[in-house]
C-alpha cells in the first residue's frame, strides 16, 4: 500500500482543521515538526513521514552528492514516491497543508511542482531549490509561505527569491517572511505561518458550524 511507503506517525487532531503533512529537516525524524505543526494549526491532524535516505546516519528525503548538489534522478523518483504517499494518506475531503523545514521543505517544494493539485497550502521553511523547477500543471488557487534567513549560509536569499518567482509564475499566491539570521528557525516564522494558515482553518470551522 502507498501509505506504507514511509515510516510515519499520524495524530488524530481535535478540531475541524486541514490535514497537515510535516516534513523534517536532515537528521530529524517524524517527531521534529509536531510541536511546530501544533503551533501553526492548533488541533489539526498531522501526518509526519520519516525520510528513508540516510546520509552518514542522518535521515533525509532524497540523496545529494554535496551541499546544494542534488542527485536529480533520485529526487525525481522520491518526489513521485512522496506524492503517492500523501495521496494515500489524505483520505477524505479536508484541505491539505504541507509544512517542511530545510530538506523537508525541499521535498515538499518538489511535490508542489510535480503534483500541483495535491496541496492547498504549503509552508516552506528555509528551502533550497538550486535548479529551475518544471511545473506539471497550474498552481492557481494554491497558497505558499516561504520563510528564510537573510544570512542563511545554506539557502542563499537569491535562490529563495527565485523559488518564490517560480511559484508565482505557476499561479500560486506566495508570501515571503524573512529574519536577519541564518538557517535556524525563529519564532517570527511560526507566527507568520500561523497567521498565513488561519484563514484556511477558519473556513473549515465555519463550514462545520452550518
DSSP assignment letter at 170 = T
DSSP assignment letter at 2 = G
CA 44 → CA 12, 135, 187, 207, distances in Å? 8, 29, 20, 16
Query: H-type helices in 10-140, by residue range?
Result: 34-40, 72-90, 103-114
Please identify which of the residues 3, 8, 29, 183 carries the catalytic annotation: 183
Evaluate if residue 1 carries a pLDDT over 60: no
pTM (2 decimals)?
Answer: 0.94
Rounded distance between C-alpha atoms, residue 26 and residue 142, angstroms: 26
**Chain segment 115-125, per-residue pLDDT in tens:** 999 999 999 99
Phi and psi (nearest 5°) for 94?
-65, 145
End-to-end CA distance of the chain: 36
**Chain segment 133-145, per-residue pLDDT in tens:** 999 999 999 999 9
**Chain segment 152-188, per-residue pLDDT in tens:** 999 999 999 999 999 999 999 999 999 999 999 999 9
Domains of the chain (ranges plus CATH)?
Answer: 2-208 (3.40.50.1820)
Is 152 a catalytic site residue? yes
Percentage of residues in the chain with pLDDT exceeding 90? 85
Per the prediction, the chain carries an average pLDDT of 93
Please identify which of the residues 152, 179, 194, 202 carries the catalytic annotation: 152
Q: What band does 209 get if pLDDT is binned at 50, 70 and 90?
A: very low
> How many Cα atoms within 13 Å fall on the side-chain side of residue 45?
15
Is 8 a catalytic site residue? no
Is 102 a catalytic site residue? yes
Please identify which of the residues 24, 102, 126, 179 carries the catalytic annotation: 102
Amino acid at each position: 500500500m502507498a501509505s506504507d511507503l514511509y515510516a510515519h506517525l499520524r495524530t488524530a487532531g481535535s478540531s475541524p482543521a486541514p490535514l497537515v503533512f510535516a516534513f523534517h529537516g536532515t537528521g530529524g525524524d517524524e517527531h521534529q515538526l509536531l510541536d511546530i505543526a501544533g503551533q501553526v494549526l492548533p488541533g489539526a491532524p498531522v501526518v509526519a513521514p520519516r525520510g528513508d535516505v540516510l546520509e552518514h546516519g542522518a535521515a533525509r528525503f532524497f540523496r545529494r552528492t554535496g551541499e546544494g548538489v542534488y542527485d536529480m534522478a533520485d529526487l525525481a523518483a522520491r518526489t513521485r514516491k512522496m506524492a503517492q504517499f500523501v495521496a494515500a494518506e489524505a483520505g477524505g475531503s479536508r484541505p491539505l497543508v504541507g509544512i517542511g523545514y530545510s530538506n523537508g521543505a525541499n521535498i515538499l517544494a518538489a511535490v508542489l511542482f510535480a503534483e500541483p493539485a495535491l496541496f492547498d497550502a504549503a509552508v516552506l521553511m528555509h528551502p533550497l531549490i538550486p535548479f529551475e523547477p518544471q511545473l506539471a500543471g497550474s498552481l492557481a488557487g494554491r497558497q505558499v509561505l516561504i520563510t528564510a534567513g537573510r544570512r542563511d549560509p545554506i539557502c542563499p536569499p537569491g535562490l529563495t527569491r527565485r523559488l518564490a518567482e517560480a511559484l508565482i509564475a505557476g499561479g500560486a499566491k506566495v508570501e515571503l517572511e524573512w529574519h536577519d539570521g541564518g538557517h535556524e528557525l525563529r519564532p517570527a516564522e511560526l507566527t507568520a505561518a500561523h497567521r498565513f494558515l488561519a484563514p484556511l482553518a477558519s473556513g473549515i470551522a465555519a463550514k462545520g458550524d452550518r
